[in-house]
Every structure is written in structure tokens, then in C-alpha cells.
Amino acid sequence: MDKIVVLDFGSQYSHLICRRIREFSVYAELVPFDISLEELKKLNPKGIIFSGGPASVYNNDSPKPKTGIFDIGLPVLGICYGHQLIVNNFGGKVKRANKEYGSSSLTVDNDSDLLFGMGKSIRAWMSHGDAAEKIPDGFDIIGHTESSHAAAIANKQKLIYGIQFHPEVVHTEKGTEILRNFVINICRAKQDWTIENFIETTVTEISKIDGNVLCGISGGVDSTVTALLIQKAIGNRLKCVFVDNGLLRLNEGQEVETMFKNNFAVNFTHINAKERFLERLKGITDPEQKRKIVGEEFVQIFTEFAEKNGPFKWLAQGTLYPDVIESGVSKGPASVIKTHHNVGGLPSWFNMQVLEPLRFLYKDEVRKVARALGVSDKLLNRHPFPGPGLAVRIIGEVTEKKLQICKIASKIVEDELVAANLNDKVWQAYAAVGDDKAVGVVGDERKYGHIVTVRVVDSIDGMTADWTRLPANILEKISNRITNEVEDAVWVSYVISSKPPATIEPQ
């Protein structure tokens, strides 16, 4: 299939470029900014996009693509820092300017190709400190703002374009249409990236593997889709194992077993390992260490199961693209945000090969695959749940008391959202608890108890998220129920931080 390659120069928005392009059925893949020309040619892209990034083109250690990338003959679009790279590479001049951050009015000077259909002006999202002062020979200015006289440039003969703003963010008016103009009209990419094609291609590829596959099941949509795709490819060579680590939602262990046995014809085993996990987590307060302990214990249990019931050559996981990016093992220079237990948590002694059919999909794409595979809406609409479970929603040491607070309080949050017909309209909702305490009054008595933190967010793919503006009466109900029904909970707080700068999970 046709594809667009996005070179990652470290922007927090790099992944969004891929997301926007995939929305109009063209496959886009994020690769390192310094990918070799040989590897780039093997990918056989129809066009290249340079992402933004925090560096300045004049810094000695600033990231730059391999020499010769502009001689390949492919269309190139530079965004923000990528725009400045193009200006600098072709002999223009980039200068330090007054930092421009936020929405600006982009005046369209030429709407013949990249900015086709934009009208006379659009709102464009800026986030930069450098700007093009002098554009290179052979380039024309096709758009400007009050602060950036060359906010959009084009060399139509070479099919090289640069824009100072970010079309991939929702704050840019008609930003997706700009990317579409580049991908469809300039690169001539075919719109053949469909969920049906993904399923067909993935099943075909998995059917070629040899050996049996052990698949870890969590009850969430990611691992369920992973199992269904593999079963479709290799049938009874797949064995699904659900490990109850004691860090799940209230009564979730039994619910997952019932759901799988009643709805999916897969070979399913339920292992209760609560005591093992809680013992390993005793005294551990560092969030990264907790994540890695949970990941290692999962793999230890899978390995033991495989030795008794194998042989198994593969361990299948529902790893998604955001997991890979945030764990710092993606193909770009992004820093580690947090280790995902199924990405960065695999220990060195692990001896099975890892099978991750969803590794390059975003969450909303996985849900589309699930729908195409006939997964029920009840499972499809379940909120995402972290692989390490409540270990990352319990700040500090995981204790039985904090586990119960977290489980019951989270159930209250979900119940109240269901009652208000909001549960299916938000991305994620839960309650977290740490070691912070406050004074409350229970009856006529003073009580020193835990502060429970409620988190509800809206998102599309989990890479960015905004806090949900719940009505005050619903927040009041949630707070009243938690302080009345959850032992040792005396205060309730509500998180109003978005991602970024915060993450969706507290740890």
C-alpha cells in the first residue's frame, strides 16, 4: 500500500501527523529523523514529512536528516522545525524571533496546491521561536501571518513545501485538509489504508509463523482483538491466559472469565496470582519500579505456564503505537514518558519471541478492527485500563487498604457516569489514591483519612487528552458517595490537568 513517512524531530505532535493522515485512509509511519537513505528507500514512500521539534537549526547538536534526502525526488513537507530545516538547507536564512505560541491568522497568498481550498485566511496554531527571515531561491511565499512573513513556502518544481504552523493539531483550522492536499494531491498517494485491508494483511502475515502462541488476556479491547486476529490466522495453535494480578477493577477477574467463555471460542485459562504480585510490590514506591515489577511478574507467570503446557514459541501482546512511543522505544528521539509493562518491562531472561499485531495502531483504530471482527459494543466501549493495573493508580506503596479504596471509589465513578449517560462519552474515568491524608468529620467525630483523586478525560487516541468538564451535580454525587461508602476516604479531589503536560494515569 502507499505510505507517507514522517521523520520525527522530537515534536510532541509528531504522532498526530500520522494520525491525521490515517484518517483519510493513507498509511503513515513515524521513523527516526536520521533514517538512512537506504532504509528510507526500502519503505518506498510516496512522500516525506519533517515533523516539528524543540531544537534550533543553528545548534551544533540539532537533529538533521541524512544528506541527500532532498535528492531522492520525493515530495517533502516541513512542519515548524522541519520548515526551518528546508529554509536553511536551500540557502535561506532562519533567525531567532519573538516566540509565537498559540493561534494566529494565516493569510493565504497562493491557494493553488498545498493551501487549496483554504480561502483567504485560516486560524493556524504556532509554536516556535525561530522563523524564516529570507527564503531560498526557487521558493515562493504562499502564506504569511502578522509575525511570520514566510509562514508557508513552496518550491513547486521540486515539490518541497514548508509551513511554520502545525496542521496536525485541532487548533489549526482545516489542518487535516492541508495534509490531505499534500498527501493526496501532491504525493498522489492512494487511499488504500483500510481496517479491512489491515485485518487481511495481518492475518496473512501471522498465518506464516511457526509454533504455538501464548496470548496474555486482560479483558480489554486490545488483548481481545490481538487474540481474535491470531486465532483467525492459526486456530488452535493459540492459547489465551488471563492472569488476575489482584490489581484489577472491582470483581473484574470473574467478569473477564465469564465474558470470554460466553462470547469467544478460544482456549482460555484463568490464573489467580494476586498474592504473588502484592508480595513483589511490598515496600515499592517508585512508579517505574512498580511498572517493571508487574511486567516481569507477568512474564514469569507466562513462562512457567509455557513450560508446563507448551511448547510455545511466541508470546502475543496487545501493544499499541502510543505504548511504544511513550516507552521511548519508538523510532524517534522522544524521551521516555513511562514504561509500559508490555513494552519496556520485558526482562532480559525472557526467551519467547514477542508477537504484537497491533503495534502500529492507535486506540480508535483498534476499536474499528474490533467492530469489524464482531466484538460486542459492551466490550468495545470499556474504558482503557493500564497494564500494571491499580499499581499505577495507587501512589506510593500498594497496600490492601489503598487497593480497596481505589477499587470501590473507581466503581462509584463509573456507576455515576453510567447513571448520567456519560460513561460511553468519555475516554477514561477512575479514582486514584496515595498517601496524602486530610481531616474529615464522620458523624460527630474527627477522622484522619485518605484523599481520593478522581480523573475523567476526553481523548481520541490516548496520546493527548483533555479533562472532562463534568456537571457540578455529578461531581457532588461522586464525592458524596465516595466519602460515605469508602472506608478511610474523607476528601475527594478532581484533576483538571490535560495531557500534556500531565499524563492520563498518575504514574
Taking the C-alpha atoms of residue 55 and residue 69, their distance in angstroms, rounded to an integer, is: 20
Please tell me which residue in 128, 144, 166, 340 is annotated as part of the active site. 166
* Beta sheet of 152-155, edge-to-edge order: 27-32, 3-8, 47-50, 76-79, 160-163, 152-155, 140-144, 93-108, 121-134
Q: Is 80 annotated as catalytic?
A: yes
Taking the C-alpha atoms of residue 341 and residue 15, their distance in angstroms, rounded to an integer, is: 21
- Residue 447 neighbours by CB under 8 Å, 6+ apart: 439, 440, 441, 490
Amino acid at the residue 211 = G
What separation in angstroms does the CA of 170 have from each of 56, 87, 137?
Answer: 25, 26, 32
- 272 sits in which H/E element: strand 268-272
Query: b vs e for 223-232, b when ≥16 Cβ sit within 10 Å of the residue's Cβ?
Result: bbbbbbbbbe
Taking the C-alpha atoms of residue 316 and residue 266, their distance in angstroms, rounded to an integer, is: 14
Please tell me which residue in 15, 18, 128, 168 is annotated as part of the active site. 168
Query: b vs e for 37-65, b when ≥16 Cβ sit within 10 Å of the residue's Cβ?
Result: eeebeeeebbbbbbbbbbbebeeeebbbb
What separation in angstroms does the CA of 452 have from each of 43, 79, 436?
Answer: 49, 42, 9
- 406 sits in which H/E element: helix 400-419
Give helix then strand counts, H and E, for the chain: 14, 18
Strands 121-134 and 152-155 come out as unpaired
* Apex 145 CA angle, 140 and 147, nearest 5: 110
Taking the C-alpha atoms of residue 494 and residue 456, their distance in angstroms, rounded to an integer, is: 8
What separation in angstroms does the CA of 304 have from each of 109, 203, 353, 452, 479?
Answer: 66, 28, 15, 37, 43
Strands 47-50 and 3-8 come out as parallel
- Residue 143, SS3 per DSSP: strand
Q: Is 168 annotated as catalytic?
A: yes
DSSP state of 71: G
Give the residue numbers annotated as catalytic, written as ranges.
80, 166, 168
